């Protein structure tokens, strides 16, 4: 925390307090680490890559995997809404989550990639393209 000078007007302090209530000082630090909420692991083997992403709460139909010559792109959306009606009141909850990750691997054969999703873990098995025409310099 910083020390305020003696001349610091009280109205500025009130504005700062109100702003900090809505937007805390460490908000930008929190935003920098937002991507780190999902565990992504890439293992390189002799002829392939294995990519594992932990996506708790995401259903299989909300996950999309695409590929290019050297990368895989994983996008996932979780959108759940519940409404409970009881005696004289309604309770409505909503949860939303989004994951987007582009992982550069090198020359791959994306059309031969296999994808599985079990217990919230997405696993991609991506064969390498070792043909001489696909080596990049």
Specify the 3-state DSSP secondary structure of 22: helix
Q: Which of 66, 50, 58 is nearest to 102 (CA)?
A: 66
Task: Give residue-wise pLDDT tens across range 127-137.
Answer: 999 887 655 54
Task: Give residue-wise pLDDT tens across range 20-32.
Answer: 655 555 544 444 4
Judge whether 2 lies within some domain: no
Domain CATH number, residue 86: 2.60.40.790
Judge whether 12 lies within some domain: no
Q: What is the C-alpha to C-alpha distance for residues 54 and 37, in angstroms, rounded to an integer? A: 9
Instruction: Quote the domain boundaries for residue 103.
Output: 38-134
Q: How many domains does the chain contain in total? A: 1
Q: What is the C-alpha to C-alpha distance for residues 48 and 130, in angstroms, rounded to an integer? A: 10
Please state the pTM of the whole predicted model.
0.62
In 43-75, which positions are buried (b, 16+ CB within 10 angstroms) versus exposed (e)?
Answer: eeeeebbebebebeebeeebbebebeeeebebe
Judge whether 54 lies within some domain: yes
């Amino acid at each position: 925390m910083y020390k305020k000078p003696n001349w610091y007007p009280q109205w500025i302090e009130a504005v700062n307090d109100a702003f900090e209530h809505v937007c805390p000082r460490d908000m930008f630090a929190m935003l920098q680490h937002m991507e780190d909420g999902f565990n992504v692991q890439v293992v390189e083997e002799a002829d392939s890559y294995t990519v594992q992403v932990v996506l708790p709460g995401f259903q299989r139909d909300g996950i999309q995997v695409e590929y290019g010559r050297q990368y895989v792109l994983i996008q996932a959306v979780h959108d759940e809404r519940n409404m409970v009606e009881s005696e004289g009141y309604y309770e409505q909850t909503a949860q939303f989550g989004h994951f987007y990750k582009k992982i550069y691997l090198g020359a791959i054969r994306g059309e031969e990639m296999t994808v599985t999703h079990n217990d919230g873990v997405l696993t991609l098995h991506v064969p390498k393209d070792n043909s001489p025409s696909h080596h990049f310099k």
